Amino acid sequence: MRKVYGVSLSPYVRKVLMTLNLKGLDYEMVHCTPMDKPEGFEELSPLGKIPAYIDDAISISDSSVICQYLEDTHPDNPIFPTSPIDKAKVRWFEEYADTKMIEVCGSGLFFERVVKPAFLQIEPDEERVRENLEHEMPKILSYLESKLDGNYIIGEQLTLADITIGSNLLNARYANYEIDAQQWPKLAAYFQRLCETDCFKAQIESDKVFLNQ
Ligand SMILES: N[C@@H](CCC(=O)N[C@@H](CS)C(=O)NCC(=O)O)C(=O)O
């Protein structure tokens, strides 16, 4: 049986869960957080990070590695396009979201506004939140807005790039941040479209359990 270690409120873990769901693959969730990992977790994830993944054939960590493995072993309902150029573009946006968006939507907003008060019982760093809202978030949104010219970030197919970008935008939303549709109209419409896909709708429903909504 496939097992995913982590918690869906992490955009990295959510990427893997959405890929599994998109491909119609069953899995069991082993709930753990960076602060509360099971004994021996480092054997599954040598860097100590979530997500980790196991099945009958392999034990791996890192969301990009896991998603690529799922794509290679289950090519139906692909999360990558076929052309090398589009594939490279998808990988770039995945990297951008995994590196830059997580810093702002994840650590800068979600961690401060949700994880600290709700799970760690500590006050958010308001200065850090303000800096992210006023400076960092607008840079990200303007960059994405400038790259959008279709229904999805690359072409007309939902790919891992959309899953990863959308997963980070969800964390910003969970931290009470909404994209201003006047300033970033294409991006606001794109995020709305993503949230209406079956794959996002199902994930948003299951995230509610952890957000006590
Ligand atoms: N490159 C990794 C990053 C995973 C990651 O940073 N996960 C965070 C949770 S959102 C974590 O486990 N942090 C704990 C730590 O860095 O010790 C991936 O794509 O899976």
Atom of ligand 1 nearest to the CA of 49: 12
Q: Is 25 exposed, middle or buried (CB count within 10 Å of its CB: 0-12, 13-18, 19+)?
A: middle
> Alpha carbon 140 to chain centroid distance?
15
Atom of ligand 1 nearest to the CA of 10: 10
What DSSP string describes 183-202?
A: TSHHHHHHHHHHHTSHHHHH
Most informative mutation of 33, 36, 50 for ligand 1 (most atoms within 8 A of CB): 50
pLDDT of residue 213: 64
- pTM attached to this predicted model: 0.97
Residues with CB under 6 A from ligand 1: 10, 12, 34, 48-51, 62-64, 98
pLDDT of residue 211: 87
Please tell me the distance between residue 34's alpha carbon and the centre of ligand 1 in angstroms: 8
Residue with the smallest CA separation from ligand 1 atom 13 is: 49
Spans of the chain, pLDDT less than 70: 213
Note the pLDDT tens digit of each residue in 155-209. 899 999 999 999 999 999 999 999 999 999 999 999 999 999 999 999 999 999 8
pLDDT of residue 34: 86
